[in-house]
Amino acid sequence: MDVIDKNKNRKARKDHACDWCGGVINKEELYDWQKIASDDHGIYEWKAHKHCVEVASYYDMFDDEEEGLSQGSFSDRVFDRYTELEGYEKNIDLPNQVLALFLGIHNAN
């Protein structure tokens, strides 16, 4: 995986999906954007909420990922961290964007 165009902060001109949590990046919201080239997926754009990037950075989610942090890895790590902090069983069913927001708020405190 090669980053063609590095992280840029963009302001959404329309709604997008966050490639990490799957939540909506609303029109007018600032988000992170990259253009990436991959042998498996060709050239594509990666879009992510600012809070998802902050959560991934805060919890060092990039350290073990050779090919970048995938949506599945992000989801698993966010869920694991949430259950550690809150002591919940792993059978809860919360959307990834809710868990990422929770961790972002938790980090600020």
CATH of the domain at 82: 3.30.1740
DSSP state of 13: S
In the chain, the number of structural domains is 1
Q: How far apart are CA 27 and CA 22, in angstroms?
A: 15
Residue 68, helix vs strand vs coil: coil
46-92: per-residue pLDDT in tens? Answer: 899 998 888 888 888 876 656 678 888 888 888 788 777 766 665 55
Specify the pTM: 0.72
**Which residues form the domain of 78?**
2-108
Measuring CA to CA, which residue among 49, 3, 5, 45 is closest to residue 23? 49
Q: Specify the residue for token string 């959560």.
A: 55
